[in-house]
Structure 1
Amino acid sequence: MFYLLVVLHVIVCVFLVIVVLLQQGKSADLAGAFGGQGSQTAFGPRGAANLLTRLTTWCAIIFMLTSIGLTILMQKRTGGHSVLEGTKATQSVPAKK
């Protein structure tokens, strides 16, 4: 189960990088080069979500879920322990007056 989740996580990571790099920027057209946004909205024109934006959203959701799943599986696999488990506890002595 762990290795299947790792493979799925790596595939989703690579696919997410590719999908994000394929997307066109918000102001990548000719009007954006000269400062024109083509709309009076605060953050520029917002078109309908196309296939790439939906793929990006779903890849991000799957990436987060696999990250949480891997964290839970690693916690169960290695057993819960503290980072400070092997250190010696020192007690401070109050200063003499």
Structure 2
Amino acid sequence: MIYLVSTIHVIICLVLILVILLQQGKSADLAGAFGGQGSQTAFGPRSAANMLTKATGWLALAFVITSIALTLMMQHRTAASHSVLSGSQTTQSAPAKK
């Protein structure tokens, strides 16, 4: 199950990177530099931005969900009472006297 969720997680990461790189900034084209509002995108200036923005939001949500699922699965696989500090030994020494 961990391998399946890990594979889905990697695919989501790659698609999220692609969707983010496809987005343009606000008025990032040459016409925007001179105050023009025209755009030559396939979906029009606003609908492509809305579609990519929505895709980014859904992919980010899926990324968070798969991250939490992987964390819980790995935690379940290891000992239930595992702590970060369980293997460390701390000793306190007295300060050096001058």
TM-score w.r.t. the length of structure 2 is 0.70
User: What residue is the counterpart of 1:17 in the other structure?
Assistant: 17
Aligned match of 1:50: 50
- Give distance in 1, aligned partners of 2:5 and 2:72: 11
Q: CA-to-partner distance for each residue in 1:22-64, whole Å, 9 max, x for gaps?
A: 1121121335324x497xxxxxxxx565221111111000001
Provide structure 2 residue ranges, at least 5 long, that are not aligned to the other structure. 38-45
Secondary structure in structure 1 of the residue aligned to 2:62? helix
Note the aligned Cα RMSD (angstroms).
2.4
Counterpart CA distance in 2 for 1:3 and 1:89 is 37
Do structure 1's residue 72 and structure 2's residue 69 form an aligned pair? Answer: no
Q: State the match for 2:30 in structure 1.
A: 30
Question: In structure 2, do the counterparts of structure 1 residues 91 and 28 end up closer, same or farther at CA, with 3 Å as the change threshold?
Answer: closer
Q: What is the rounded CA distance, in whole Å, between the counterparts of 1:75 and 1:55 in structure 2?
A: 30
Matches within 5 A, 1:76-87: 76-79=76-79, 80-87=81-88
Structure 1 residue 2: deviation in Å? 1.0
Q: Residues 93, 56 of structure 1: CA spacing in aligned structure 2 closer, same or farther, 3 A cutoff?
A: same
How many residues are treated as equivalent by the alignment? 87
Cα distance change, pair 92–25 in 1 and its aligned pair in 2 (3 A): same
Partner of 1:82, secondary structure, is coil
* Percent of pairs with identical residues: 60
TM-score by length of 1: 0.71
Identify if the C-alpha distance between structure 1 residues 95 and 21 changes in structure 2 by more than 3 Å, giving closer, same or farther: closer
Shift of residue 81, structure 1, vs aligned partner? 1.4
SS at match of 2:55: helix
Q: Distance in 1 between matches of 2:77 and 2:15?
A: 28
User: Structure 1 counterpart of 2:69, which letter?
Assistant: G
